[in-house]
Amino acid sequence: MRAVLAEDQALLRVGLTRILETCGIRVVEAVDNAAALARALARDDFDVAVVDVRMPPSYTNEGLLAAVEARAARPGLPVLVLSQYVESLYARDLLAGGEGAVGYLLKDRVADVDGFVGAVRQVAGGGTVLDPEVVAALVSAAGRDRPLARLTPREREVLTLMAEGRSNAAVAARLFLSEKAVGKHTTSIFTKLDLPPDTDDNRRVLAVLAWLQG
Amino acid sequence: MKLPAITSIRPGPVDERGLVDRLRLTLVAAGTFFLGFPALILAILTLLSVALGPLGVGFVLANAVVPATEVLARLHRRLSSALLGEQVEASYAATADRGFLSRPPVWLRDGNRWRDFGFLAFSGTGGFVLSGVPALLLVTPFVHLGGLIIDGSLIWLLTLVISSVCPLVWWVVTPPLVRARARTERGLLGHSRVADLERRVEQVEETRAETLDHSAAEVRRIERDLHDGAQARIAAVGMNVGLAEKLLVSDPAAAAELLREARETTVSALEDLRSVVRGIHPPVLADRGLAGALEALALPFPIPVTLRLQLPAGLPAPVESAAYFAVAECLANTVKHSGAARAWITGEHRDGRLRLVVGDDGRGGADPTSSGLGGVGRRLAAFDGTMTVLSPSGGPTVVTMEVPCRTT
């Protein structure tokens, strides 16, 4: 697997490269500014881009903008965005297309090497990965709507894990439930939220996310 | 005749100086007493001109009365300025380019003309009494004495005995009465006091806006420092430790190397945090006050810095902090641009002003509008402080900073 990496701080660029390479993901290009990132994202010899939100020159959200623009030009381009902060708006911009192959994680998660590399692989494979913090923000924002109040606490847990991009099997493992029980919960959630039922994990995640943002 | 300003109204020792001063004040009071008559007449005419305005007569009357009032008011302003030792100034709405008919409406709308009218009323009533008393007190015993000499009846002797306290009373009450009148006139006729206050408010608004901008910029700087420094380093530590954890079994040597790196990064993250904290509020300032903090500031400088500080404890903390950063900025400039061989800092707190001077023997040419020194000026302006930079080409450079502040 090949990756493009964008991170303006040398220290973290080295750390991320090291982690990815150790886990068998070759970093084909590592850049430290938005212009170079835009050029790198135009390449076609990588499977996933790992991008920092803040980049020079303005240190606001250049990395994110470059990612969003690249995905607008090439829908489904796998991008995992890393940020020091949770910004629900960033998540919204990223997920706006609704095609998946996208992720938004806090930088802190990188320290959990297996989890981070798993997320990179998931995004590369067309999945959706969202930081629990981001999901919590989305869920609490959506909490003003009544349908969410109709969910049982257990269903809320399942919904949160689903929004993070986990498959039924992963959710079951996390909550110590059988996969069948998780399936029952998801069906019930979809009914309560008026979402069309779907068996494809990623499409279901996207549906949940779209609902949370709507 | 040069009028003395009334500096004190306490009945001082009876000497020639006090006597001459009081006689002069009495003369002035008598003058203003007689000026009360024209004032009262002008006041009545002013009211008439307003009342007769619709008939047209008022316009003629106003064109005579208002300038006359202005002349009278100017005379009183001169007197009050001299008596109070400060400038009492007028500011009327401009009528220079207006004609006979268009002037009165402007006067009518000009609040300061109405203040003059208020003065006319005061001068013909309360002021009249205030000014009459000193001369009356002085004259009474002589009148009674004259009566006794001319008439010779005992009733004059009785009144003379009674009025013999008058000179004493005159001695005591003349300065306060004259000053009271002058102050009242300052209140009525000192139009520019309002203008001064307006200017002051403008200035305060401006410095406040600058201070807010400055604070916002500071907060942004702190956020950037944290994000690019400590936060990034700690994230890097997390990455290294995470990877080390993964490699612990398969490649212990690499894991050990990663852990060592992580430990070093932790040290620099702490250093970053410390420097951010120092930038917010230097701990040394909290521990040792301004003098100690400036000493600590000068100590590590590559050129010798001479300190002469006589600073009291108990300066307001925000002023101390601003002064500290101001001096730090000046010293940084010295090292960066001046090529000086030595620098000096003097500091003192006198008459409610903190005064700091930073100088060096470098090549001069410091620019007070540069971002660094300009920032110092803005920082001090928030406390009504000032910064003056003397830096001729070829040096030396002397930056003088003054901030009014009280010690607690």
CA torsion sign, B132 to B134 to B135 to B141?
A: positive
Chain B CB within 8 Å of residue A12 CB: yes
**Contacts of residue B214, Cβ cutoff 8 Å, sequence gap at least 6:** B375, B378, B379, B382
B227 and A54: CB-CB below 8 Å? yes
Inter-CA distances, B408 with B40, B200, B281, B356, Å: 51, 26, 20, 19
Q: How far is B331 from chain A (nearest CA, A)?
A: 30
pLDDT at residue A144, as a whole number: 64
Q: Best mutation site among A107, A109, A114, A120 for testing chain B: the one with the most B CBs within 10 Å?
A: A107
CB B367 within 8 A of CB B373: yes
Confidence at residue B214, expressed as pLDDT on a 0 to 100 scale? 79
Check residue B257 and give its pLDDT.
Answer: 93
Measured from the Cβ of residue A31, the count of other Cβ atoms closer than 10 Å reads: 24
Kindly state the average pLDDT of the residues A190-195: 83
Work out the angle at residue B358's Cα, subtended by the Cα atoms of residues B353 and B363, and round it to the nearest 5 degrees. 150
pLDDT at B316 (0 to 100): 86
Q: Do A84 and B243 touch (CB under 8 A)?
A: no
Tell if the pTM clears 0.85, that is, is over it. Answer: no
The mean pLDDT of A2-14, rounded to a whole number, is 92
pLDDT digits (tens, 9 = 90+) for A135-191: 887 777 776 666 777 888 888 888 888 888 888 888 899 889 998 998 898 888 888
Please tell me if residue B312 touches chain A, with a CB cutoff of 8 Å.
no
Residue of A nearest to B225 (CA): A59
Which token pair is B171?
């001695």
Would you say B338 and B362 are in contact if contact means Cβ atoms under 8 Å apart?
A: yes
Range with the poorest average pLDDT among A3-17, A173-187, A196-210, B352-366:
A196-210
Rama region for B15: left / alpha / beta (φ>0; ψ in -120 to 50; rest): beta
Q: Provide the mean pLDDT of chain A.
A: 86
Shortest CA distance to B404 belongs to which of B389, B378, B388, B382?
B382
Once rounded to an integer, what is the mean pLDDT over residues A6-33? Answer: 92
Question: Tell me, what's the pLDDT at B309?
Answer: 92
Q: Residue A214 above 90 pLDDT?
A: no
d(CA B258, CA B268): 15
Q: What is the pLDDT of residue B50?
A: 87
* Structure token pair of residue B108: 């009518």
Residue ranges in chain B modelled with pLDDT below 50: none
**pLDDT value at residue A145:** 65
Q: Which residue has the tokens 């995640």?
A: A205
Query: Given pLDDT bands bounded at 50, 70 and 90, which one contains residue A7?
Result: very high
- Averaged pLDDT for residues A42-63: 87
Q: What is the three-class DSSP state of A30?
A: strand
Among residues 90-129 of chain A, which lie with CB inside 8 Å of chain B?
107-108, 110-114, 116
pLDDT(A121) > 90: yes
| Per-residue pLDDT reduced to its tens digit, B332-368 | 888 888 888 899 999 999 888 999 999 999 888 888 8
Can you tell me the distance from the alpha carbon of B60 to that of B119, in angstroms, rounded to the nearest whole number?
22
pLDDT of residue B2: 62
Q: How far is A32 from chain B (nearest CA, A)?
A: 13
Distance CA A4, CA B190 (A): 75
For residue B239, the chain A residue with the least C-alpha distance is A111
- B154 vs A105, which has greater pLDDT? A105
CB neighbourhood size of B71 (10 A): 11
Contacts of B236 in chain A (CB under 8 A): 11-12, 15
